[in-house]
A = this chain, B = another copy of it.
Amino acid sequence: MSHYTSDFARLIRQQGYRLTPQRQLILDAICELGAHVTPEAIYRRVTERAPSINRATVYRNLDFLCEQRLVVAAHIGRETVYEIAGAEPHHHLICRTCDKVITLPHAAVQRFFRALQRRYSFIVDMDHLTLFGLCPKCRKDSRL
């Protein structure tokens, strides 16, 4: 992670921003907690190590990290979850009954977006889609 962090440090300093301990802790927390992390989980994690950190600082840094494209935000229902920005954007199928999450490659969605572009001349630009429905297993169970 250290090379990751130092890249990050260089990157943001070049743009006149700063690498504060709070900002580091927040980025580290997202790394460690993995995918689909809620702001609250990040806040709790960070306060374990720096109890005096303020909630507003967490939110402001999440916005900042998203703007820098180091972190991506996904809106799932009403809540926003975060994760480290990977090389490829990806999407999620979430089962309404068992909450299982299936990852969808960007290509599967891109085809749809291109069709919309052809028909409506509208260029959809979303790097994360969340689609709810019924997973194979729950579908089978519901038809017994």
- Whether A123 touches B134, Cβ cut-off 8 Å, given contacts A77-B75, A78-B80, A80-B78, is yes
A13 at the interface (CB under 8 A from B): no
**Stretch of A21-29, A49-57, A112-120 on the interface side:** A112-120
- Whether A122 touches B134, Cβ cut-off 8 Å, given contacts A75-B78, A77-B75, A78-B75, is yes
Contacts of A119 in B (CB 8 A): 108
Complex Cα distance, B93 from A80, in Å, reads: 20
Contacts of A113 in B (CB 8 A): 131
Contacts of A78 in B (CB 8 A): 75, 78, 80
A121 at the interface (CB under 8 A from B): yes
Complex Cα distance, B133 from A122, in Å, reads: 7
CB distance from A53 to the nearest CB of B (A): 23
